[in-house]
Structure 1
Amino acid sequence: MITLENLSKSFRSTAGSVVALDDVTLDVPAGVIAGVVGPAGAGKSTLARVLSLRERPDSGVFRLDGRNTGALDERSLRLARSRIGVVPAGESLLGQRTAAGNIALPLEQAGMDGPQRRERVGRVLDLIGLTDKAATYPADLTAGQRQRVAVARALIGEPDVVLADDPTGSLDADGAAGVLAVLDRARAELGATVLVATQDTSVVRRIADDVAVLEHGRILETGRLLELVRDQDSLVAQAVLPAIDGPVPHGYADVADVVLVGFAAVGSLLPEATSRFGTEIAVVGGGVTKFGETPVARFRLGLTGAGSDAALGWLSARGAAVHRHAVRELVAA
């Protein structure tokens, strides 16, 4: 659906040229939620503007469904823009319009007739769970509700792609959860491809299928989220997995850090390994979190007994990501 090939974008400033995007290559498959995560100034907002076809890159190619958007004529460019819904960063609603009026604005601008417009606005209000707030003005909505209305306005044209620039940045936990639920429903119920630019790694953990790490305008890491977290040295794993604090403990035959993905793995692999190989397995660090609805654990294990080596091999063969700490390292520590 979205393909970026060696994309670069710079801006002029009083200090000279500022590189916002530097040779960015990225693929976002159709129908996924992709997170682009990075600190302030990483280039996320510039990337969102390029993807919304409001900015042209200095070099490189942006393909939408295989078509080079840089080669589109003005009419084709307008049509391509109409397929992309944008949720801008910060407050964006018109204070003099109700929630329904804000959502309807793109349809009014497109010339859609009143009955059809009201029917579609009603469907989207139901999608975001704010049917009872249709006649409410932004000043009387919570921050989270206002952002859900902004997402609804991006969805009202039934876009193929939704771009959300820092959609939870100023929200409390409940407000953020409501916005992320709406973005997830947009993918599940409307079939939209969703790209979320954010500083908050918990956003990626809660809704993303794919993730890219952006820093100083460059993509440092990209891939499927649940594959990246299996590599405990990856930037994504370090950012989103439960932390393991403290030094590696002494007194065990083996010590290993393991990542377990899924209900069956988290719930049953360690007890089964204990019974199969006659080894004691102690969890000495780490914890369990969720990626969407999928539980993911990172544990530091201390193993004792003759079967500890076989137990770790068995865990690895059943999909656990196992990083072993050599006993000689522990003695030196």
Structure 2
Amino acid sequence: MITVENATKTFWTGTGQVVAIDDVTLDLAPGAITGVVGAAGSGKSTLARLVSLQDRPDSGVVRVEGYNTAALDQRRLRAARRRIGVVGHGELLPQRTAAGNIAMPLEQAGIDGPQRRERVGRLLDLIGLTARAGATPADLTPGQRARVEIARALIGDPGLLLADDPTAGLDADGAAGVLAVLDRARSELGTTVLVTTSDGGVARRIADDVALLDGGRVAANGSLLSLIQNPGSPIADALLPAIDTPESVRAAHDRTAEVVLIGFAAVGALLPEASGRFGTDVSVIGGGLTRVGETPVARFLLGVSGPQAESTLSWISERGGVVKRPVRGPEGIAA
């Protein structure tokens, strides 16, 4: 539905020109959740403004349903913007109830009362706040207010929902509620979702596809599960448990290797089976476990000792584990 092609955006500050987005290409798969991950200043919010058509790139193209948005007149540009729901922060009207805030875009569009009530009721159910329909923002938790903002962005049935750092400032329960609503919008409404975030955990929990922004450029882009299977990739480094094992611990083993294991069976059984099959000592000396959506994923640094240490690692690789051995120098010493 929306593609960004070779987009560049610069700004002038008191210290000179800043390149916020540099030759970025991004394709949002219909009906999927795409997570754009990056540190503060990486260009996430600038990219969000370009995708939501609130700003235009200096060069490159943003397309909506194949149309170059730079070539649209104002009427058609407004129509294209209405196809994009944008989740803001703290923008609920304090004097209105949750239901009233959600209904506001429909009132402005002249939608009659019965239609408004039906659509508002459906979205209150989606965000799990039917019982709180009459509460004002002051009587809602921060997480509940964020869910109301999502419902209001969805009320016009947009093709794309854009959430810029939607869990910022929320506690764990509030963040979990927001991510659950975004996932339901995708699965129950068929909405394409773009989430920008500095929290890799957000992408791990709900994203189908992910792009890593670094200094305004895309460092990696593609299917999340595919990208994390490369242990040394920027996505693996950004989203999987870190490995900071001292060299002294590594040196105590005949072989070391970084391994990514995906799925319940691989995480739970592959290493003990490898150890028993080859009579080797297989130890986890770094890394840890996480989840990508509902799938358990391990990123371990393994220390393997025994005459068949190399065979053990090869067998783990043959059984679906992604094994990365350390680069070794000309004398066989790990570089």
Same fold (TM over 0.5): yes
State the alpha-carbon separation in 2 of the partners of residues 308 and 228 from structure 1: 27
What is aligned with 1:69? Answer: 69
What is aligned with 2:17? Answer: 17
Q: How far off its partner does 1:306 sit?
A: 2.9
Q: Is the 8 A contact 1:106 1:153 kept in 2?
A: yes
What is aligned with 1:131? Answer: 130
Q: Is the 8 A contact 2:4 2:51 kept in 1?
A: no
Question: Unpaired segments of 5 or more residues in structure 2?
Answer: none
Letter in 2 for 1:318: R
Identity of aligned residues (%): 64
Letter in 2 for 1:62: V
State the alpha-carbon separation in 2 of the partners of residues 103 and 62 from structure 1: 29
CA RMSD in angstroms comes to 2.0
State the alpha-carbon separation in 1 of the partners of residues 180 and 321 from structure 2: 29
CA gap of 1:10–1:252, structure 2 versus 1, over 3 A, is closer
What is aligned with 2:236? Answer: 237
Q: Is the 8 A contact 1:250 1:330 kept in 2?
A: no
Letter in 2 for 1:151: I
CA gap of 1:324–1:18, structure 2 versus 1, over 3 A, is closer
Count residues with an aligned counterpart.
332
**TM-score w.r.t. length of structure 1:** 0.93
Q: How does 1:1-333 map to 2 (within 5 A)?
A: 1-88=1-88, 90-248=89-247, 249-325=250-326
Q: What SS does the aligned partner of 2:167 have?
A: coil
CA gap of 1:318–1:208, structure 2 versus 1, over 3 A, is same
Q: What SS does the aligned partner of 1:297 have?
A: strand
Q: How far off its partner does 1:327 sit?
A: 8.2
Letter in 2 for 1:307: Q
Is 270-279 or 140-149 further displaced after alignment? 270-279
Q: How far off its partner does 1:121 sit?
A: 0.2
Q: What SS does the aligned partner of 2:244 have?
A: coil
Q: How far off its partner does 1:326 sit?
A: 6.7
State the alpha-carbon separation in 2 of the partners of residues 136 and 129 from structure 1: 13
State the alpha-carbon separation in 2 of the partners of residues 262 and 155 from structure 1: 33
CA gap of 1:256–1:30, structure 2 versus 1, over 3 A, is same
Question: Unpaired segments of 5 or more residues in structure 1?
Answer: none
Q: How far off its partner does 1:242 sit?
A: 1.4
Q: What SS does the aligned partner of 1:77 have?
A: helix
**TM-score w.r.t. length of structure 2:** 0.93
